[in-house]
Amino acid sequence: MSPSEPSAVTEAQARHEVETLRQQLRHHNHRYYVLDDPEVPDAEYDRLFQRLKALETQFPALLSSDSPTQRVGGEAMSAFSTVMHEVPMLSLDNVFSAEEFADFDRRVRDRLGDLLGQGGDLFSQPVLAYCCEPKLDGLAISLVYENGVLIRGATRGDGVTGEDITHNVRTIPSVPLRLAGDALPALLEVRGEVLMSKKGFLKLNEQQTAKGEKTFVNPRNAAAGSLRQLDPRMTAQRPLEFYAYSVVRCEGVKLPGSQYETLQKLATFGFRLSKEIRRAEGEAEVQAFYADIQQRRDSLPYEIDGVVIKVDNVRWQQELGFVSRAPRWATAYKFPAQEAVTTIQSIEFQVGRTGALTPVARLAPVFVGGVTVSNATLHNFDEIERMDVRVGDSVVIYRAGDVIPKVVRVMTERRPEGTQPVALPTRCPVCDSEVERPEDEAIARCTGGLFCPAQQKEALKHFVSRRAMDIEGLGDKWIEQLVDLKLIKSSADLYTLQKDMLLPLERMGEKSADNLLAAIAASKNSTLPRFLYALGIREVGEATALLLSRHFGSLEKIMAADEAALMQVQDVGPVVAESIALFFRQPHNLEVIAALRAAGVSWPDMEALGERPQPLAGQTWVLTGSLATMSRDQAKEKLQQLGAKVSGSVSKKTHCVVAGEAAGSKLADAEKLGVAVMDEAAFQQLLQEHGL
């Protein structure tokens, strides 16, 4: 049942439920707004809130002015002085589905009636223009400017009164202290969102860890905590940003009659706007905007929890007006929840490529962020100890895009009796070898090495992966079977596989067996950096493998290098050097390498490559669109051979962008920033000139 549907309860039952809901909501409000320490995810709060609202709609007699539905927000913090908002800061109603948004659109058009019809022709349905904005997940604030000078910043508070945080907002670099331009309003009040970018948040948490201080749960809490600092010097050190989204008072300058254009006007005053803001004609275009943003959500620089859709025409906004504290002309169109509460049914340990034991929580299935989730990672044993997660606990899990869901918090207040702390296994759950955990490390490992089937499987999956030996079609399922049937143990065994060994595998046909063998054979022609990366040496990722290859030129030289020699390589420090040297001291690894070479795995000599002049050294290049003559990875490899760094995004420091077919926003960025752009033909020519 959706929370807004009428339910079959009597008024007496409803009275009881309403009281309980109000108590719960007040409690959560206090935790959230006053203590800044929420106990439940927003989605659970929303659910309670929607239920209360539905009951109050069904039984208007139960409505009372002190209901949480009649007051959005919390109390002003006592340490800051309280300010009254000249124009109340409204809240937003929510819709959660395409149907609900279509209803909103229909309601608005019905209300506008004739007004909207004017100018449209007789046969077409009049469509309404909307200003579409991402719903930034930060804190709403209000800024007042007199004659172009910032005189006050205030939090939203309960919408009527907030806290005076002028000293703190002044430290936020994207808040203009003085408006730009020369035709300035005598008075301007701007509303917007203060937030912390995902990058800024990660960096802040790193610093907090380094200082031995408490880390923040998410960017929103970090922004709230930073804005609430009593000492503005503390706030100044936090990477806060301000994005403007509306004007409520403006005197002395005439503003455009459209929300979208008003925002553009704010940009000319020096305010920052989200780059995602668009104007949409009609409901269908809004739905497309929503779908597009939802799909790109994870790659945005900040967290958002939906979009905000506003009637673009300001005169019509006034016509539509407000209901209680929310405008009728705007709505938040929310994404499905990304956090949810569930219980832990068991905790298991998975063994990775290097033997690391990763604890995984098996969960009571729960719907979160659009999918049902029944597993979540707990990262490592330290994390278990830090959170004191136990089997039977209620936990908050979080899921971002395609990222593996993780347990973010244990609700110890709901812990059942008789639970036990989780113990680190003393033996590997896969091969029964001893588990070791060095004093100073968070990670516990199986000591079985490549005798452990779990480590064999993971090492093989890495070896065949696209950026390593790139054996197409040899997926995880085949590797699991091959190892379970003891047909292979190490990467070298792959090259001894015969068709009659493959055919008994589940779901393996003649054709797939032939294709697999062909792909394995093709992988024998490799490159030194790929081969080195494929070996799976701890601490040696793709970039390090490339640097090592360039520096030494041959596998023999790398194998012969001692730790001092290894540390001559760019980016190789003592930890990496030790790991490499250790790897090449293991007789087992030397045997596998010899067997691989005997099977015919080879690469062109890189000694010559090592001395290749690096005409693009010190330059940063960006690839965009698809190239007809090579894959993006191949193009990247070639650019790196010429000494260039290849980056994923365009900035002022980019030297050149190579634009293939269907190049998108990166090309636009390049043009905006005046960065050189090269097409595929020119790129080909450049490569040829340098013998590639």
CB of 410 to ligand D41, least distance (A): 29
The answer to whether 572 contacts ligand D41 (rule: CB under 6 A) is: no
Nearer Cβ to ligand D41, position 246 or 433? 246
Pairing of strands 656-659, 676-678: parallel
Q: Which two tokens stand for residue 377?
A: 């990672």
**Sign of the dihedral through C-alpha 645, 650, 652, 658:** positive
> Does residue 392 come out as left (phi exceeding 0), alpha (psi in the -120 to 50 range) or beta?
left
The answer to whether 313 contacts ligand D41 (rule: CB under 6 A) is: no
Q: Which of the residues are catalytic?
A: 135
Nearer Cβ to ligand D41, position 137 or 393? 137
The answer to whether 316 contacts ligand D41 (rule: CB under 6 A) is: no
| Residue 157 three-state SS | coil
Phi, psi angles (nearest 5°) of residue 593: -60, -45
**Interacting residues with ligand D41 between 107 and 166 (CB under 6 A):** 133, 135-136, 140
The answer to whether 246 contacts ligand D41 (rule: CB under 6 A) is: yes
The answer to whether 312 contacts ligand D41 (rule: CB under 6 A) is: no
The answer to whether 263 contacts ligand D41 (rule: CB under 6 A) is: no
Question: Which span sits near ligand D41 by CB under 6 A: 21-29, 87-95, 143-151, 356-364?
Answer: 87-95
Nearer Cβ to ligand D41, position 327 or 643? 327
> Does residue 361 come out as left (phi exceeding 0), alpha (psi in the -120 to 50 range) or beta?
beta
CB of 321 to ligand D41, least distance (A): 12
Nearer Cβ to ligand D41, position 155 or 527? 155
The answer to whether 91 contacts ligand D41 (rule: CB under 6 A) is: yes
**Interacting residues with ligand D41 between 169 and 208 (CB under 6 A):** 193
Nearer Cβ to ligand D41, position 135 or 390? 135
Q: What angle do CA 231, 238, 266 make, to 5 degrees?
A: 100
Binds ligand D41 (CB under 6 A): choice among 18, 43, 92, 532: 92
Is there a contact between 535 and 583 (Cβ–Cβ < 8 Å)? yes
The answer to whether 308 contacts ligand D41 (rule: CB under 6 A) is: yes
The answer to whether 544 contacts ligand D41 (rule: CB under 6 A) is: no
CB of 108 to ligand D41, least distance (A): 13
Binds ligand D41 (CB under 6 A): choice among 109, 310, 390, 550: 310
| Residue 242 three-state SS | strand
CB of 359 to ligand D41, least distance (A): 36
Name which of 360, 357, 368, 423 is nearest 396 in CA terms.
368
Work out the burial of residue 160: count CB atoms within 10 Å of its CB; fewer than 13 is exposed, 13-18 middle, 19 or more buried: middle
The answer to whether 330 contacts ligand D41 (rule: CB under 6 A) is: yes
Name which of 94, 402, 36, 352 is nearest 223 in CA terms.
36
| Residue 152 three-state SS | strand
CB of 173 to ligand D41, least distance (A): 19
Distance set, CA 510 to CA 476, 503, 517 (Å): 19, 7, 11
Type of residue numbered 371? V
Nearer Cβ to ligand D41, position 327 or 425? 327
The answer to whether 95 contacts ligand D41 (rule: CB under 6 A) is: no
Q: Which single residue is written with the structure tokens 């290894």? A: 566
* Rounded-to-integer distance, Cα 581 and Cα 559, Å: 8
Q: Which two tokens stand for residue 506?
A: 């589940």
In 315-441, the DSSP E strands lie at 322-323, 326-327, 330-334, 339-351, 357-368, 371-377, 394-398, 406-410, 435-436
Residue window 204-243: x/- pattern of binding to ligand D41, with contact defined by CB under 6 A: ----------------------------------------
The answer to whether 325 contacts ligand D41 (rule: CB under 6 A) is: no
How many residues form the binding site for ligand D41 (CB under 6 A)? 14
CB of 274 to ligand D41, least distance (A): 7
**Cβ density class 241-258: b for 16+ within 10 Å, e for less:** bbbbbbbbebeeeeeeeb
Nearer Cβ to ligand D41, position 75 or 679? 75
CB of 168 to ligand D41, least distance (A): 18
The answer to whether 327 contacts ligand D41 (rule: CB under 6 A) is: yes
Radius of gyration (C-alpha) of the chain in whole angstroms: 30
Q: Which two tokens stand for residue 523?
A: 């992988």
Contact positions vs ligand D41 (CB under 6 A): 90-92, 133, 135-136, 140, 193, 245-246, 308, 310, 327, 330
